[in-house]
Amino acid sequence: MHTKLSKSDYELIAEFRYTLRKFLSFSEAAAVSHDLTAQQYQALLAIEGFPGRKWVTVGELAEQLQIAHHSAVGLVNRMEKLELVGREKCTEDRRRVQVSLTKRGSELLERLYLEHRAELKTIGPKIVQLLQRASLDISGD
């Protein structure tokens, strides 16, 4: 049975989206302040944050960023020119390329991580509160 949604249901989702957008806006500005695009920052994070290893294939990077494979190739090319990433042939499969962070890429990512962690300490409690409100609303259905 479908229950009618209330104004407060819509307000909750609107506030949640607004809070996420504020964080994403902060993230984009933080990347730009370090002379990176938001996508370059996301790529650095996706590579270093990949489970179980410190490199990704171009295909895995494309999947992590939800972009086309050829777009990931172009991104890696640009990041390699900026000395943010390096690539080498995969030892198990010479057709695949492993992309990993350079020292410069790692240092930039660490600085950005610390800035993001500080912002999350500020915005995190609000996100948790909104999620708790949403789950209480959902469990009441």
Q: Are 101 and 54 in contact (CB under 8 A)?
A: yes
Domain limits of the chain? 8-139
58-90: pLDDT as tens digits = 999 999 999 999 999 999 999 999 999 999 987
Q: Is the pLDDT of residue 139 over 80?
A: no
Comparison of pLDDT for 137 and 79, the residue scoring more: 79
CA distance linking residue 135 with residue 124, whole number of Å:
16
Q: What is the pLDDT of residues 21-56, one digit of tens each?
A: 999 999 999 999 999 999 999 999 999 999 999 999
Q: Give 1 or 37, the one with higher predicted confidence.
A: 37
Contact 134, 9 (CB under 8 A): no
Say if residue 1's pLDDT is above 60.
no
pLDDT digits (tens, 9 = 90+) for 103-116: 999 999 999 999 99
pLDDT of 140 over the 80 cut: no
Looking at per-residue confidence, does 95 or 125 come out higher? 125
CATH topology of domain 8-139: Arc Repressor Mutant, subunit A (1.10.10)
Asked if residue 101 lies in contact with residue 112, where contact means CB atoms within 8 angstroms, the answer is: no
**Which pLDDT band holds residue 141 (cuts at 50, 70, 90)?**
very low
Going by C-alpha positions, the residue among 124, 108, 141 that lies closest to residue 6 is 141
93 pLDDT exceeds 80?
no
Residue 4: predicted pLDDT: 87
* Single pTM value for the model: 0.86
